[in-house]
């Protein structure tokens, strides 16, 4: 039986939009997020109940075989965003802006973000602290919702000294909190916290009015995200501490693994202490 691109089956879920995500945040119901790079997985994740699909520049590693996210190009992100958008019916789609596409002028950043929105994204994600405030302000003023990203920022791996926990010293904690408030004030609607000590992430979540999405940041964030290829144990090599193999406990069934992940996030049983710092 061949797949048909015009699937006539109606979705049981109304489209997830930004006000709905904010409602989940206000109600303290965790938001489920997974990375996604193609139409087939987009349809599967959507039907399994994932609320946010992140077209991550992690595709540079898990799809293209690079050692980092740095080589990923804007056209490649637009291509994969379009693939995900065509497979999706109801989930909210966030697209990563790749390295070098927003660190310059605000006008250039807006133009690059617009390309991802035209490809099918509902929001773009940028890595960095308070220095991004003017860029975020201009984007949101012109109709582009922004998700910020603090903690371990993979595009800055050469600056921060590798893939290590951020927020371990009082100085680092103060900077994280200051940056988060500045990004929120500039107009960011969501904030990813990656590899931040769980108590610090919990404090930041309490201090902010926008949802925080954790990855290696404890279970008190407003939601959780994992790289799809990690939680399905597809990507080779050692996995970070915050990764759990959901496929192994789901009898090898991919949809069951995704549904199990969603249930674990909603119940805050994932991440557990063993997945946190």
Angle of helix 198-207 relative to helix 170-186, nearest 10 degrees, comes to 30
Mapped onto helix, strand or coil, the DSSP state of residue 117 is helix
**Active site (annotated) includes residue 141:** no
- Dist CA 275 CA 277 (whole Å): 7
Indicate which residue of 171, 172, 194, 249 is catalytic: 194
d(CA 10, CA 261): 24
Contact 110, 139 (CB under 8 A): yes
CA dist 197 and 261 (Å) reads: 21
Query: 123-127 and 52-55 as β-strands: parallel, antiparallel, unpaired?
Result: unpaired
Which DSSP state fits 52?
E
Distance CA 33, CA 224 (A): 6
Active site residues: 194
């Amino acid at each position: 039986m061949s797949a048909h691109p015009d699937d006539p089956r109606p979705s049981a879920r109304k489209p997830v939009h930004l006000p709905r995500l904010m409602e989940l945040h206000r109600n303290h119901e965790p938001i489920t997020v997974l990375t996604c790079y193609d139409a087939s997985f987009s349809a599967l994740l959507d039907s399994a109940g994932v609320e946010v699909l992140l077209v991550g520049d992690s595709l540079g590693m898990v799809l293209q075989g690079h050692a980092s996210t740095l080589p990923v190009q804007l056209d490649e992100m637009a291509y994969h965003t379009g693939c995900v958008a065509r497979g999706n019916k109801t989930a909210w789609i966030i697209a990563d802006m790749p390295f070098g596409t927003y660190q310059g002028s605000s006008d250039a950043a807006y133009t690059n973000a617009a390309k991802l929105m035209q490809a099918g994204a509902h929001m773009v994600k940028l890595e960095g602290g308070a220095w991004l405030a003017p860029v975020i302000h201009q984007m949101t003023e012109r109709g582009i919702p922004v998700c910020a990203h603090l903690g371990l920022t993979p595009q800055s791996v050469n600056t921060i000294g590798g893939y290590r926990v951020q927020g371990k010293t009082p100085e680092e904690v103060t900077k994280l909190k200051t940056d988060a408030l500045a990004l929120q004030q500039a107009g960011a609607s969501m904030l990813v916290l990656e590899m931040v000590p769980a108590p610090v992430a919990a404090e930041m979540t309490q201090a902010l009015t926008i949802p925080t999405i954790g990855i290696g940041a404890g279970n008190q964030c407003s939601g959780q995200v994992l790289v799809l290829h990690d939680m399905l144990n597809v990507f080779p090599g050692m996995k970070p501490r915050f990764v759990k193999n959901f496929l192994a406990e789901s009898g090898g069934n991919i949809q069951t693994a995704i549904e199990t992940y969603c249930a674990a996030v909603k119940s805050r049983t994932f991440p557990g202490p063993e997945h946190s710092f």
